[in-house]
Amino acid sequence: MKTLIITCLLFSCTLLISGQETRDACSWPFSKKSIWNIPVGSEAAYVHAHIQRAEAMGMTIDEDIIVLKPEAKMMDIFLNTAAWNRNKNRCEPEGELLFSAPIPHDFIVSPDTWDGLTPNSGLAVLMPDGRTIKQTQPFAHCTQDPVATSLTRPTDNDLYGDGMYGAHGGSGLSAIGGALRIGELTPGSGPVRHVLKVNLFGKKNFYYDKETRGFRWPAKQSDGYAEGNYGTERKDPVKACRMGALLALPADMDLDAMGFETTPGRILARAFQDYGAYVVDDTAWDVYAIITEWSPEGRFSDEFENNWGFTFTEKSKDTPWARDMDRIFQNLHVVDNNTPNSVGGGGTPRMPLAPDFKTGGIR
């Protein structure tokens, strides 16, 4: 039996074979027709989301834990019900085995290493077959023992499939698709070429009524507390702005006239205009968040700071980066005709579709 050697090229999204651009599934996953890869279309109908200015911090992140090491030793992930209760311990197994997955045993996800007090910690892990992705939330691995914990067990995904659903608890959407990955948003990486993911403060920005229940396609749910919470800190939440909304800067908006003060801010603005971002969770406090990668290879946020000389997670509102984030978020519109039959609003995509997968890769 031949040994299958699987290599994920995490720092190179594409390569050229015989003059044809191709992509590595680990760094640029899912099919061309996946919601995470379809650009905004020429027929997009925009409705201003009127996102309220975040006041608690200049910018935050929500880290997707992405482990694409199918050759690693297996780790058992057991049930833990601490969830987002700050008075409970996520680290100790409390119940049944949820599943086992290949995760390096020295990859520590604990209160000493994670961002914030009770982060979402959605895990996406590639299984030994090289294409099945298992997901769970909130993941914790607090020692080098081969034992971890989590709460949920969403349906598996295929690395080469549509990749729509997964471990983001507010929306039910993927914990790998749409994340800003290591190697992206660097001085030499060029434009971001996929849809993004964001979290917003639900009390200020999400609409809820009995009919919509606070969500829209492609989300399959809203938070369990949505009723009596979403939109309660404003008089006029925008009905189109619900969990699962595709947010984008309108096609006719002149990005060069918006006064961006940082290069990565301007790059992100282009991504929001060309591809948009799905709302996948509630921040539960008065901040914006963009979803980024944390993996055994490192953290997007560390790479960003090393490259640009300032942090992605900005405490002050009065910095160039924080002002750029206000420029983006306060101008975002909902693509109101984003549907299963008109992903991105339909019409001609603003950008080319994702290239084919490279041959000889994971299949």
- DSSP letters spanning 15-82: EEETTEEEE-TTTS-S-TTSTTTPPPBTT--EEE--PPPP-S-S-EEEEEEEE--TTSPEEEEEE---
Average pLDDT, the chain: 94
Asked if residue 130 belongs to a domain, the reply is: no
Per cent of the chain over pLDDT 90 is 93
Helix (H, G, I), strand (E, B) or coil at 269: helix
Task: Say what the pLDDT of residue 20 is.
Answer: 79
Asked if residue 153 belongs to a domain, the reply is: no
Structural domain containing residue 292: 46-62+179-343
Judged against a pLDDT cut of 60, whether residue 362 lies above it is answered with no
Asked if residue 184 belongs to a domain, the reply is: yes
Asked if residue 88 belongs to a domain, the reply is: no
Judged against a pLDDT cut of 50, whether residue 363 lies above it is answered with no
Work out the pLDDT band at 81, boundaries 50, 70, 90.
very high
Judged against a pLDDT cut of 70, whether residue 13 lies above it is answered with no
Query: How far is Cα 160 from Cα 138, in angstroms, rounded to an integer?
Result: 25
Q: What is the rounded average pLDDT of the residues 257-274?
A: 98
Domain tally for the chain?
Answer: 1
In terms of Cα–Cα distance, which of 157, 1, 136, 158 is closest to 75?
136
Work out the pLDDT band at 19, boundaries 50, 70, 90.
low
Asked if residue 234 belongs to a domain, the reply is: yes
Asked if residue 245 belongs to a domain, the reply is: yes
Asked if residue 323 belongs to a domain, the reply is: yes
| Residues 199-229: tens digit of each pLDDT | 999 999 999 999 999 999 999 999 999 999 9
| Of the listed ranges 2-16, 180-194, 257-271, the one predicted with least confidence | 2-16
Asked if residue 193 belongs to a domain, the reply is: yes
